[in-house]
Amino acid sequence: MSLMKSLMGAAAAVALTAGAALAEPALIFDLGGKFDKSFNEAAFNGAQRWADETGGSFREIELQSEAQREQALRRFADAGANPVITMGFAMADPLSTVAPDYPDTKFVVVDVTWLDAPNIRQIGFAEHEGSYLVGMLAAMASKSGTVGFVGGMDVPLIRHFGCGYAQGAKAVNPDIKIVANMTGTTPAAWNDPVKGSELTKAQISQGADVIYAAAGGTGVGVLQTAADEGVLSIGVDSNQNHLHPGKVLTSMLKRVDVAVYEAMKAGADVETGVFVLGLAEDGVGYALDENNEALVTDDMKSSVDEARQKIIDGELEVVSYYENDSCPALKF
């Protein structure tokens, strides 16, 4: 009997360790899709880097509709995935329902910072700081004194981008005109390059000669049209300078890849709580590589780097759109 007991105990222990070894991380992409060349693709790159370095594997799903959010979360949590990494502000509501049901699973969410649960690592980015820097670059590169902003879906997060951008542009040239448009008010706005193109053409005809796209897949159309029409564009989230070499002024980097990589590296022991990554943590920044080095002069670079240092030191404050749901430099 006791032999039987110990055998069963051993079997149970083996099963347990096997279970622990199976606890691979899971990644849930938002509606923009894994290869949006932007936000979600950055997450995928971070996860891939982790997989390449450690030889581990991760589960993933690309959401196709709003209804799948909660289902995907529960599936992964039930399957023992740990941590479950999710992308985008729209995961906030499903997470707040699902997370309490799985107290032993760690959840990670990017772009959400307001939930109250002990097992969620919430990662926010100070997008307004990064956007401020590219706004300065835009204003310095603009010859017409008009710069443009194309947002995706009209949500506070995207206004947050636009607000930082406008403040940066105004800091360089107080008289600058900023044309800001949103693509739409439904999630389809993240994937409508045709509308992105039309918005870009409309902004160009209003005089804009540098256009910042914070619009997921729609941004592909913005960058394309800007390149076709001979004006500069600014990419977002991932480094998009390579899409049209010499035509993309810079990209506002949001190091989602680093955030995902680090969460996966920490595995099931990932630290929970709210983390906001800004310029000081290198969570945001602007991209400079061989594709755009001819566009960014040394003067532009030094003044932007100076502003960056000031923001880090706290000498310069970029107002966040979230503070009072309005922007001092731009009216939406």
Partner 1 sequence: MEFLTVIQILDSTIRLATPLLLACLAGLYSERAGIFDIGLEGKMLMSAFFSAAVAALTGSVWLGLLAGIASSLALAGLHGLASITFRGNQLISGVAVNFLAAGMTVLVAQDWFQQGGRTPSLFGQGRFESAEFPLAIGPKDSEATGRPVSELMAETNILHQVYSELFSGHSILVYVAFLAVPVTWWVLFRTRFGLRLRAVGENPAAVDTAGVSVVGLRYAAVAICGVLCGIAGAYLATALQAGFVKDMTAGRGFIALAALIFAKWRPWHAMGACLLFGLLQAVALRFQNIDLGGVVIPVQVMDALPYVLTVVILAGFVGKAIPPRAGGEPYVKER
CB of residue 34 vs partner 1: minimum separation in angstroms?
A: 5
230 is a site residue for partner 1 (CB under 8 A) = yes
Computed from CA positions of residues 303, 249, 200, 154, in that sequence, does the dihedral angle turn out positive or negative?
negative
What is the SS3 assignment for 28-74?
Answer: EECCCCCCCCCHHHHHHHHHHHHHHHHCCCCEEEECCCCCHHHHHHH
Computed from CA positions of residues 300, 302, 306, 309, in that sequence, does the dihedral angle turn out positive or negative?
positive
**Contact with partner 1 (CB under 8 A): which of 70, 75, 119, 198?**
198
Integer angstrom CA distances of residue 59 from 25, 47, 77, 92, 237: 6, 10, 11, 20, 23
CB closer to partner 1, 209 vs 262: 209
The DSSP call for residue 316 is S
> Which listed range, 79-87, 169-177, 188-196, 278-286, lies at the site for partner 1 (CB under 8 A)?
188-196
For residues 74 and 8, give the distance between their C-alpha atoms in angstroms, rounded to a whole number.
Answer: 30
- Residue 111 near residue 32, CB atoms below 8 Å: no
60 is a site residue for partner 1 (CB under 8 A) = no
Q: Torsions phi, psi of 252, nearest 5?
A: -80, 110
CB closer to partner 1, 82 vs 197: 197
CB closer to partner 1, 45 vs 119: 45
> Can you read off the two tokens belonging to residue 254?
């949001």
End-to-end CA distance of the chain: 75
Neighbour count for residue 59 (Cβ, 10 Å):
14
For residues 255 and 89, give the distance between their C-alpha atoms in angstroms, rounded to a whole number.
Answer: 16
Q: Which of 177, 215, 183 is nearest to 199 (CA)?
A: 183
Would strands 284-286 and 248-254 be described as parallel, antiparallel, or unpaired? antiparallel
CB closer to partner 1, 102 vs 332: 332
**Contact with partner 1 (CB under 8 A): which of 96, 184, 281, 319?**
184
148 is a site residue for partner 1 (CB under 8 A) = no
CB of residue 308 vs partner 1: minimum separation in angstroms?
A: 31
302 is a site residue for partner 1 (CB under 8 A) = no
199 is a site residue for partner 1 (CB under 8 A) = yes
CB of residue 109 vs partner 1: minimum separation in angstroms?
A: 22
CB closer to partner 1, 205 vs 302: 205
247 is a site residue for partner 1 (CB under 8 A) = no
For residues 147 and 102, give the distance between their C-alpha atoms in angstroms, rounded to a whole number.
Answer: 47
185 is a site residue for partner 1 (CB under 8 A) = yes
Collapsing DSSP to helix, strand or coil, 281 comes out as coil
CB of residue 222 vs partner 1: minimum separation in angstroms?
A: 11
x-or-dash string of contact with partner 1, 153-182, rule CB under 8 A: ----------------------------xx
**Contact with partner 1 (CB under 8 A): which of 142, 167, 224, 239?**
224
CB of residue 328 vs partner 1: minimum separation in angstroms?
A: 19
x-or-dash string of contact with partner 1, 261-300, rule CB under 8 A: ----------------------------------------
Residues at the interface with partner 1 (CB under 8 A):
33-36, 41, 144, 181-182, 184-185, 188, 191-195, 197-199, 201-202, 204-205, 207, 209, 217, 220-221, 224, 228-231, 243, 332
